[in-house]
């Protein structure tokens, strides 16, 4: 098959995407597919010329693998283009991608299903009010832009002055800001794979940040954060993480793949859903492919299954009538 691999993108995770795409492309080629790379610059320019939004207008492309992280790639925008073009593509669709990208809406949808999410309040640029936050949460609190990734714009505020600075900092990156109670404990991740009828969870892993929290430096620059695979958990907790991961995935109508991230409070043992990444990293050190490899699905088989899931979902759509 000819697989278009979209990479780069107008996002703070541009470089990571290029690294992820390298791994994905090598695995696709090893499986005998022809890889057609599409590199999107930091300014949003495509090379070669962009895929076109009309059905049938992209001859020779059988399926698209968007390996784009963050804004304008993981957030439903590119998925919208691919829907218009009537091309099969890997990963969640428009709505699930956009939903998972918005940390507030994700929590609302999961909470509606009774899934445990970190407690938060929402504020908006131009109406930031640290006193209203202090009335709800004790310090420290986490302050995040609603719609970013890779820890960009995120701070942990320990007092009033830090909170004021953290709100302003986050407001540079989004109009909507989330302020969360800090969960003191462990960070756990679980990989989910499959379409609606076939979603299943991998063995979870643990992230051990080298800093006060898993910030951008720790994720990509310092190379000092540790991971533990499998996470050292009792079988009941492992099963509970897997159950919650699949439930959250289905609650958001994710299909194809996603990595579901949790925080586990040390004092209570409670699990909290933190976020869902619909196009998780695929670099040589990324946990999504590593969790599947540990769970018996090596990278080559993983990308093959993702392609098959994309084709199956596209096929399913053919049974839907869009006009009278």
**Sequence-ordered alpha helix ranges (H) in the chain:** 14-30, 77-84, 94-101, 103-112, 130-134, 160-173, 216, 235-251, 287-294, 299-317
Quick check: is 296 catalytic?
no
- Establish if 50 lies at the interface with ligand ADP (CB under 6 A): no
CB atoms within 10 A of CB 79: 25
Q: Which parts of 246-265 interact with ligand ADP (CB under 6 A)?
A: 261, 263
Residue environment code for 44-69, b if the CB has 16+ CB neighbours within 10 A, otherwise e = eeeeeeebeeeeeebeebbbbbbbbb
Stretch that binds ligand ADP, among 30-38, 146-154, 188-196, 226-234 (CB under 6 A): 146-154
Quick check: is 275 catalytic?
yes
Alpha carbon of 197 to those of 89, 115, 246: distances in Å? 18, 20, 11
Residue 321, classified by CB atoms within 10 Å of its CB into exposed (0-12), middle (13-18) or buried (19+), is exposed
Residue 6 DSSP label: E
Residues 6 or more apart from 317 whose CB is under 8 A from it? Answer: none
Q: Which is nearer to ligand ADP, 123 or 274 (CB)?
A: 274
Residue in 17, 182, 242, 278 binding ligand ADP, rule: CB under 6 A? 182
Residue in 274, 278, 283, 295 binding ligand ADP, rule: CB under 6 A? 274
Query: For ligand ADP, how many residues bind (rule: CB under 6 A)?
Result: 18
Q: Which is nearer to ligand ADP, 33 or 290 (CB)?
A: 290
Binding mask 153-172 for ligand ADP (x = CB under 6 A): -x------------------
Q: Which is nearer to ligand ADP, 57 or 222 (CB)?
A: 222
Q: Which is nearer to ligand ADP, 64 or 101 (CB)?
A: 101
Residue 323, classified by CB atoms within 10 Å of its CB into exposed (0-12), middle (13-18) or buried (19+), is exposed
Residue in 7, 79, 97, 118 binding ligand ADP, rule: CB under 6 A? 118
Residue nearest to ligand ADP as judged by C-beta position: 214
In this structure, the strands spanning 34-40 and 2-8 are parallel
Quick check: is 212 catalytic?
no
List active site positions. 13, 150, 220, 259, 261, 275, 277, 281
Q: Which residues bind ligand ADP (CB under 6 A)?
A: 118, 142, 144, 149-151, 154, 180, 182-183, 187, 209, 213-214, 261, 263, 274-275
């Amino acid at each position: 098959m000819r697989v278009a691999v979209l990479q780069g993108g107008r996002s703070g995770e541009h470089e990571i995407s290029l690294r992820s795409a390298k791994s994905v492309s090598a695995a696709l080629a090893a499986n005998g597919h022809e890889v057609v790379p599409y590199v999107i610059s930091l300014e949003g320019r495509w090379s070669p010329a962009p895929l076109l939004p009309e059905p049938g207008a992209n001859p020779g492309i059988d399926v698209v693998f968007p390996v784009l992280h963050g804004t304008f790639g993981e957030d439903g925008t590119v998925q919208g283009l691919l829907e218009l073009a009537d091309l099969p593509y890997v990963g969640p669709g428009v709505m699930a991608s956009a939903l998972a990208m918005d940390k507030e809406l994700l929590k609302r949808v999961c909470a509606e299903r009774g899934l445990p999410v970190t407690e938060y309040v929402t504020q908006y640029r131009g109406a930031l009010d640290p006193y209203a936050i202090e009335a709800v949460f004790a310090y420290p609190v986490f302050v995040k832009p609603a719609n970013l990734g890779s820890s960009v714009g995120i701070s942990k505020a320990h007092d009033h002055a830090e909170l004021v600075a953290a709100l302003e900092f986050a407001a540079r990156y989004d109009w909507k800001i989330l302020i969360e109670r800090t969960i003191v404990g462990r960070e756990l991740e679980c990989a989910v794979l499959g379409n609606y009828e076939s979603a299943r969870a991998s063995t979870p892993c643990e992230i051990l940040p080298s800093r006060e929290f898993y910030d951008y430096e720790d994720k990509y620059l310092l190379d000092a954060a540790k991971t533990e695979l499998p996470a050292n958990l009792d079988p009941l907790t492992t099963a509970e993480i897997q159950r919650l991961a699949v439930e959250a995935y289905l609650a958001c109508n994710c299909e194809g793949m996603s990595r579901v991230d949790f925080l586990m409070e040390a004092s209570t043992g409670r699990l909290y859903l933190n976020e869902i990444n619909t196009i998780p990293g695929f670099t040589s050190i990324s946990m999504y492919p590593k969790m599947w490899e540990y769970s018996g699905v090596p990278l080559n088989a993983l990308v093959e299954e993702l392609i098959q899931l994309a084709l199956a979902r596209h096929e399913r759509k053919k049974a839907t009538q869009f006009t009278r």
